[in-house]
Amino acid sequence: MTNLLENLLDRERVFVVGSGGVGKTTLSAALAIKAAIERPLNVLVVTVDPAKRLAGTLGVAALANTPREVELAGLGAKGQLWAASVDMKSAWDDLVKQFSPDGETADRILASPIYHNLSAKFIGSYDYAAVQVLAALTADDRYDLVIVDTPPSRNALDFLDAPARLREFFSSPLLALLTLPRRTRLFSAATRPFYLVADLVLGSAFLTDLTDFFSDFAKLAPGLVEQSRSFSELLTVPATGFVAVAAPYGPSVDEAHRLLEALRARNLSAVAFIVNRSLPSWFFTPDAQAAREWLTNEAPDILASVLVDNAKAAAAVLRVTSELVFTHEQFARARGRELIDALRDVGIDLFEVPIAEPDLDSPEALAALITSAVGVQPSKQSQDTAAHGPR
Amino acid sequence: MIEELLRKRLIFVAGKGGVGKSTVAAALALLGARRGLRVLVVEVDGKGDVAAMLGLRDTSFTPHLAAPNLWVMEMDTEAALAEYLRIYVKVPFISKFPGLGKIFDFVSTAAPGVREILVVGKLCYEVRQDRYDLIVVDPPASGHVVSQLGVAGDVGELIQLGLVKNQTEWMLKILEDPQQSVALLVATPEETPVEEALELADRIRVETPVHLEGAVVNRRFDGALAGVEREVVDEIRKYRDLVAGLTEVVGASDLFARICRRHDRNLAVLREQLGHAINVATIGEYFGIFEPHELVGEVAEVLEVELW
């Protein structure tokens, strides 16, 4: 069983994917720190999930689209660590400036209230901006390893489809329709009813603003499409890997399978699966089961005889022994063995990252989190099959 | 005081992904329905979680009955648009152009706010239609809910004329009336979710017309052994060389206590920063003991006691 970090080091880019609340941001940062400490690499971690706390933990004032160096003083780091986050608004502004054919078009777009709403507030545009920033950062030669924390979305991989959606948008009849010269529009039998209804519903002034805006916006297409295409290609090259993350409780077994299936369907290479915040495996030995029985059956009498001088404590004995048993039982049930068992034999390196004991409030604590990762062995049966090899 | 919350017409359950929004939305809806209210739960992100938790296998734009008095619908902007056009744009030729819906769908994708206003418009429309006493909304992740709730005002600014402009005015009246519409924040008591919940609370207050009514902290570890109980635990520790496995059991309890302390600390931060006008209810961690559909019933009972 290789260790978690080793799995990532033969890649140039690693995307950390999984549903919300499983700890993607923390693990991304932790992996990057660990890599920069252990190897003489220039490591960049990009968080797409805007997390201020991460900036605080890394000891930088704020994360921005332009990477900042993170000090790893006193950790004996062999490499360097950089961190960035995707700020949607400024990412869009940069893209407009970069891909506008001329300054006037850029100024018009940037001044448009429609652009303001589109870029700053509305759903979907976030993914595009994120993809464009990532495209630039992941293609940057200065970094040997880029670790990307992916954005929260309805489907863990939605955001990876953003480049395709963007290309689709620019090649769609919608844009052609919206940017059609007004005169042609009014005489086109196909679009006339649309414009009549649209005028009625949205108001003709808004419609004019909208078509003007999209006429300009369409000019960004060649640059944006080109960059999103190269990003899409980058996702499937061997140097790009995906780390899937899940949390050990709840209905996550199905979710985990769906995630792996979604990666496979997109031809993306999964390098590891991490079950995050698992409970320490040493809690759950057969001996612990025996100790629970001892606590239930024998301990109360023994303790009562020992604690006679402390009446309060003696009175608390039953409460305490049953709480100890109950807590241990709950943990045993919640441990997420189901998830681990379900993933054990799917043919991907599987790791448990135990629930953090200290607060994850420093680069050191985050690095320790990766040190604590434990590889999960495939079941005996599956190992035998592997040893014999496929027929 | 749960009565007060259940007297609202529209409750938006807001929070980051993975904190249990769907569970809270389903539980709240179930609670209302058990008390005889006609309740509609609306799933905006179409993942089907709420429906599954309430024991339904399918959802659609047309509400499905999940339990007595309890309906579940899935938001579908295209269907919402078709309904909108049917109701408000009484133009006979629409039905003759089957492609029209498609064209509109893509304008709704491209034109800022049109999609969001269709979602919020449908919700407000249901409030106005009065077919349900209470509508509980399970929206998509954090930032999106702000766009949706803020949209009536934003679109009002963008679109000065036309039918949509007229629509936003009555919608705003429903959304900004705290007797009718409220947002309920959901978080877990870990550092990042608390921080994001606080950011979301600010955004709801600043960028949307909707009143923030309270917060639910889900999956809290609570009830660590304390005081004299710790003395008993220390006494038990003395037997660790005699009883194999005791270290593990006590170790689990120690871990539990440490997590409880961390959660208490984070909860205090949330309470303090939200301000004392905002009530915070807590739901314990259930450790995967229940299947999702059983969990909803449990959480509903907890909310009944916990919610102000």
Compute the average pLDDT of residues A321-348.
86
Residues of chain A with Cβ-Cβ distance to B287 below 8 Å are 249, 330-331, 333-334
Q: Indicate if the pLDDT at residue A71 is higher than 60.
A: yes
Q: Indicate if the pLDDT at residue A27 is higher than 80.
A: yes
CA torsion angle B245 B250 B251 B253 (round to 10) = 140
> B128 or B17, which is more confident?
B128
Please enumerate in sequence order all residues whose Cβ is within 8 A of that of B286, keeping only pairs 6 or more positions apart, or say none: B219, B295, B298
Taking the Cβ of residue A287 and every Cβ of chain B, the question of whether any pair is shorter than 8 Å is answered with yes
**Which of the residues B287, B290, B293, B295 would you substitute to probe the A interface, choosing the one with the greatest number of A C-beta atoms within 10 Å?**
B287
> B223 or A92, which is more confident?
B223
- The pLDDT tens digits of the residues spanning B96-131 come to 555 666 666 656 665 667 777 788 889 999 999 999
Residue B103 C-alpha, separation from nearest chain A C-alpha, in angstroms? 7
Compute the average pLDDT of residues A302-321.
93
CA atoms of A27 and A35, how far apart (whole Å): 12
Closest by Cβ to B244, choosing from A200, A291, A321: A291
With cut-offs at 50, 70 and 90, classify the pLDDT of residue A123.
very low
For every residue of B78-114, DSSP letters joined together read HHHHHHHHHHH---GGGGG-THHHHHHHHHHHHSTTH
Taking the Cβ of residue B121 and every Cβ of chain A, the question of whether any pair is shorter than 8 Å is answered with no
Taking the Cβ of residue B283 and every Cβ of chain A, the question of whether any pair is shorter than 8 Å is answered with no
Compute the average pLDDT of residues B215-236.
94
Tell which A residues from 107 to 126 touch B, by Cβ distance under 8 Å: 113-114, 117-118, 121-124, 126
CA atoms of B275 and B213, how far apart (whole Å): 12
Helix (H, G, I), strand (E, B) or coil at A298: coil
Closest by Cβ to A333, choosing from B243, B256, B288: B288
- The pLDDT tens digits of the residues spanning B43-67 come to 987 777 899 899 998 889 999 999 9
- The pLDDT tens digits of the residues spanning A284-293 come to 889 999 999 9
Q: What is the pLDDT of residue B197?
A: 92
Radius of gyration of chain A (CA): 27
Compute the average pLDDT of residues B72-98.
73
- The pLDDT tens digits of the residues spanning A188-206 come to 666 666 677 677 766 777 7
Please enumerate in sequence order all residues whose Cβ is within 8 A of that of A176, keeping only pairs 6 or more positions apart, or say none: none
Closest by Cβ to A122, choosing from B47, B116, B232: B116
CA atoms within 13 A on the CB side of A288: 21
Strand partners, A244: A17, A273
Closest by Cβ to A197, choosing from B89, B109, B142: B89
| A128-137, A279-288, B30-39, B154-163: least confident range | B154-163
With cut-offs at 50, 70 and 90, classify the pLDDT of residue A5.
confident
Taking CB atoms and an 8 Å limit, are B112 and A117 in contact across chains?
yes
Beta strands in A27-155 (DSSP E): 42-47, 68-70, 80-85, 145-149
Residue A240 C-alpha, separation from nearest chain B C-alpha, in angstroms? 26
Taking CB atoms and an 8 Å limit, are A280 and B289 in contact across chains?
no
Taking CB atoms and an 8 Å limit, are A153 and B141 in contact across chains?
yes
Taking the Cβ of residue B150 and every Cβ of chain A, the question of whether any pair is shorter than 8 Å is answered with yes
Residue A7 C-alpha, separation from nearest chain B C-alpha, in angstroms? 27
What angle separates helix B162-175 from helix B114-129, to the nearest 10 degrees?
60
Residues of chain B with Cβ-Cβ distance to A123 below 8 Å are 115-116, 140, 144, 147
Taking the Cβ of residue B199 and every Cβ of chain A, the question of whether any pair is shorter than 8 Å is answered with yes
Taking the Cβ of residue A312 and every Cβ of chain B, the question of whether any pair is shorter than 8 Å is answered with yes
Taking the Cβ of residue A380 and every Cβ of chain B, the question of whether any pair is shorter than 8 Å is answered with no
Q: What is the pLDDT of residue B77?
A: 78
Compute the average pLDDT of residues B211-229.
94
Beta strands in B122-269 (DSSP E): 134-138, 181-187, 211-220
Taking CB atoms and an 8 Å limit, are B259 and A355 in contact across chains?
yes
Burial degree of B160 (CB within 10 A; 0-12, 13-18, 19+): exposed
ipTM of the modeled complex: 0.84
- The pLDDT tens digits of the residues spanning A349-360 come to 999 998 877 778
Tell which A residues from 56 to 95 touch B, by Cβ distance under 8 Å: none
CB B54 within 8 A of CB B28: no
Q: What is the pLDDT of residue A251?
A: 58
CB B293 within 8 A of CB B300: no
| B68-77, B137-146, B159-168, B248-257: least confident range | B159-168
Closest by Cβ to B256, choosing from A51, A282, A327: A327
Q: How many helices (H) and strands (E) does chain B have?
A: 12, 8
Closest by Cβ to B162, choosing from A20, A206, A334: A206
Q: What is the pLDDT of residue B97?
A: 56
Closest by Cβ to A249, choosing from B89, B99, B288: B288
The mean pLDDT of chain A is: 83
Taking CB atoms and an 8 Å limit, are B89 and A251 in contact across chains?
no
Residue A354 C-alpha, separation from nearest chain B C-alpha, in angstroms? 12
> A44 or A130, which is more confident?
A44
Q: If you measure CA to CA, which chain B residue comes closest to A280?
A: B252
Taking the Cβ of residue A275 and every Cβ of chain B, the question of whether any pair is shorter than 8 Å is answered with no
Q: What is the pLDDT of residue A387?
A: 45
Of A140-144, A213-217, A255-259, B132-136, which has the strongest mean pLDDT? B132-136
Taking the Cβ of residue B106 and every Cβ of chain A, the question of whether any pair is shorter than 8 Å is answered with yes
Q: Indicate if the pLDDT at residue B160 is higher than 90.
A: no
| A146-160, A260-274, B200-214, B229-243: least confident range | A146-160
For every residue of B50-84, DSSP letters joined together read HHHHTT-S---SS-EEEETTEEEEE--HHHHHHHH
Q: Indicate if the pLDDT at residue A243 is higher than 90.
A: yes
Secondary-structure breakdown of chain B: helix, strand, coil percentages, each rounded to the nearest 5:
55, 15, 30
Taking the Cβ of residue B2 and every Cβ of chain A, the question of whether any pair is shorter than 8 Å is answered with no
Q: Indicate if the pLDDT at residue B95 is higher than 60.
A: no
Taking CB atoms and an 8 Å limit, are B161 and A203 in contact across chains?
yes
- The one-letter amino acid at B63: P
CA atoms of B63 and B66, how far apart (whole Å): 9
Q: What is the pTM of this model?
A: 0.84
